[in-house]
A and B are shown apart, each in its own frame.
Chain A
Amino acid sequence: MVAGRQKSIAFFIALGAGLICVVILLYVGWVLLNWRQKILLVLGALLMAAIVSGVVLNTIFLVREIRRNAQHDAFINAVTHELKTPIASIRLYLETLQTRAVDDAKRLEFYRIMLDDSERLLGTIEQVLRTGRIGATSRRLNITRIDLGGVIEQCVERVRTIHKVGPEALQYRPGPQVTIVGDADEIQAAVSNLIDNAVKFSGSEVRVTVEAASVDGKYVALRVTDHGPGIEKTELKRIFKRFYRVPGALAMRVKGTGLGLYIVRSVAKRHGGRAWAESEGPGHGATFVLQLPMVK
């Protein structure tokens, strides 16, 4: 369905572009034939430029709007799934406990599963709410001095517990003691998103390293390196867009809302830093970098 719609859109955009080319050709022809009439020529050139740029701008905005709509649909689908699945699971286990005789070992296992699911639910809700807060430009940052090393260590510990991976699978190499200024809550969300992503996308064999190092004495760069599926060159920038998820089987295997990296990039920008991804391509893993200004 989506592919069909994209095809028809592509056709009409190509048609528009073709017609613009025809108009320009006709115009150039007219100019070549009537180059003697100077005033008309100047006026015509200005009008023509205005019309063409208007049409081009119109097309660009149209395409952008269509793309945003499609992404929004995908986002609603993903969030629906991310909200309903854990609720369905919790409900299923509660009803099981309510209606059946369950032995003690199973009961404890069911409790653990339900706690995991409520954790997942909370994570999704926080992600969505945070995106809303970041989008609202009026909201002021709650600035304090933060020990970045401490925040990273906390996040690493949290991800290790949630995904049940050991220190050898998720390594943390602390750098020098670094202090930054910023909103502790947002910084923590950004760092945690990066580490969580790396583990989530690694699949069954997790090998992730987290390290922090200073750059030129002005910035501190947090580098999260995984040996997961890697990223196509063309996707390296797009993955930071709001709601964007890499199309294909991978996004179906690893569930998510398409908000995590958008939050990372937004937080970096709001703190005067930046965030980007590096990858040699599919199969070569990826490195995500969050660079923030540090306080001397």
Chain B
Amino acid sequence: MSRILVVEDEQHLAEGLRFNLEAEGYQVQVVDTGEAALEALRPELAPFDVVILDVMLPGIDGFSVMTEMRHGGQFVPTLMLTARGHPDDVLKGFAAGADDYLTKPFELAILIARISGLLRRREWLRASMDPVIQPAAGPPAGGDETFAFGDKTMYFDRLELHVRGQIFPLTLMEANVLRYLIRHEGKPVSRKAMLEEVWGLHEDTDTRAIDNFIVRLRRYIEDDATHPRHLLTVRGVGYRFVAGAAAEEA
């Protein structure tokens, strides 16, 4: 069952949406502030398949919630649903990272069609992800969807990293970052290149999100995260992945 997060502070609208989406067979959670939305979207909680986001919220507004989600590596399909229909507002919504934008008042059938469109796109993407990326990735060793280095093995198909019998579940984005680094093994890769290749973002976004991913990956794959031997920092450029683990940090 697909899970939908509705971020709407107008109680009447929120309840109407809940009733209809539940009637469509979705599981619905309603929150009424941007802060609560970001809280509900934390990666360690059960993931949502679609987010419906209002703009005029108490506290931080919908545009800021959208920006913060995308910078934090939260790429759940999001439909902005708002009374603000001015072209500037629509553009602002898309620039912040929205997948779709619908103005109030809306037609119920159209809203539901757009939500199922977003879900369908997600399914297609998921289905096409593995067969397409696998040959392109061409992991340097270990064949298929696994890659072994040192005493660690990464199973990309299961999103699991096995370290001496211990299993770490990785998020899809973490696995994609690792896959990209492995594909360029031995060569330094820039943060910008990673943003473009892994996230598909072509703007001057804050690159700190990447550093957060690296910190998390190091926690999994390094014996001592403060003295990395696989995932090295290349000063002024970005990062370099070394499978052999022989090299010391320069």
* A interface with B by C-beta (< 8 Å): 77, 80-81, 84-89, 91-93, 95-96, 99-100, 106, 113, 116-117, 249, 252-253
Question: Does B165 sit within 8 A of A, measured CB to CB?
Answer: no
Q: Is the CB of A89 within 8 A of B13?
A: yes
Return 25 A-B CB contacts under 8 Å, by A number.
Answer: A77-B84, A84-B83, A84-B104, A85-B10, A87-B104, A88-B104, A88-B106, A89-B13, A91-B108, A92-B16, A92-B105, A92-B106, A93-B16, A95-B108, A96-B16, A96-B19, A96-B20, A96-B108, A100-B20, A100-B23, A249-B59, A252-B56, A252-B57, A252-B59, A252-B61
Q: Is the CB of A88 within 8 A of B13?
A: yes
Please pick, from A81, A86, A96, the residue contacting B56 in the complex, using a CB distance under 8 A. Answer: A81
Question: Does B12 sit within 8 A of A, measured CB to CB?
Answer: yes
Question: Does B58 sit within 8 A of A, measured CB to CB?
Answer: yes
Chain A residues with Cβ below 8 Å from B17 are 92
**In whole angstroms, what is the CA distance A12 to B17 when docked?**
48
Question: Does B151 sit within 8 A of A, measured CB to CB?
Answer: no
Assuming the A-B contacts A84-B83, A253-B58, are A99 and B108 also in contact, with contact meaning beta carbons closer than 8 angstroms in the complex? yes
Please pick, from A84, A95, A96, A252, the residue contacting B58 in the complex, using a CB distance under 8 A. Answer: A252
Chain A residues with Cβ below 8 Å from B9 are 253
Residues of A contacting B: mostly: helix
Contact with A along B90-113 (1 / 0, CB 8 A): 000000000000011111110000
For the A-B complex, the count of residue pairs with Cβ-Cβ distances under 8 Å equals 65
Looking across the interface, which residue of chain B has its beta carbon closest to that of A102?
B19
Q: Is the CB of A92 within 8 A of B20?
A: yes
Chain A residues with Cβ below 8 Å from B12 are 86, 89, 93, 113, 116-117
Chain A residues with Cβ below 8 Å from B56 are 81, 252
Chain B count of residues within 8 A CB distance of the other chain: 24
Q: How far is the CB of A249 from chain B (nearest CB, A)?
A: 5
13 further interface pairs, Cβ-Cβ under 8 Å (given A81-B83, A92-B20)? A80-B83, A84-B83, A84-B104, A84-B105, A87-B105, A88-B106, A89-B10, A92-B108, A95-B108, A96-B16, A116-B12, A249-B59, A252-B58
**In whole angstroms, what is the CA distance A100 to B108 when docked?**
11
Q: How far is the CB of A218 from chain B (nearest CB, A)?
A: 43
Looking across the interface, which residue of chain A has its beta carbon closest to that of B55?
A81
Please pick, from A88, A95, A106, A249, the residue contacting B83 in the complex, using a CB distance under 8 A. Answer: A88
Chain B residues with Cβ below 8 Å from A253 are 9, 58
**In whole angstroms, what is the CA distance A28 to B52 when docked?**
65
Chain B residues with Cβ below 8 Å from A77 are 84
Chain A residues with Cβ below 8 Å from B61 are 252
**In whole angstroms, what is the CA distance A116 to B10 when docked?**
13
Chain A residues with Cβ below 8 Å from B83 are 80-81, 84-85, 88
Chain B residues with Cβ below 8 Å from A100 are 20, 23
**Which one of B10, B59, B104, B109 has the highest number of Cβ atoms from chain A below 10 Å of its Cβ?**
B104
Q: Is the CB of B105 within 8 A of A91?
A: yes
Looking across the interface, which residue of chain A has its beta carbon closest to that of B105?
A88
Residues 57-86 (chain B) with a chain A CB within 8 angstroms = 57-59, 61, 83-84
Chain A residues with Cβ below 8 Å from B23 are 100
Contact with A along B5-19 (1 / 0, CB 8 A): 000011011011101
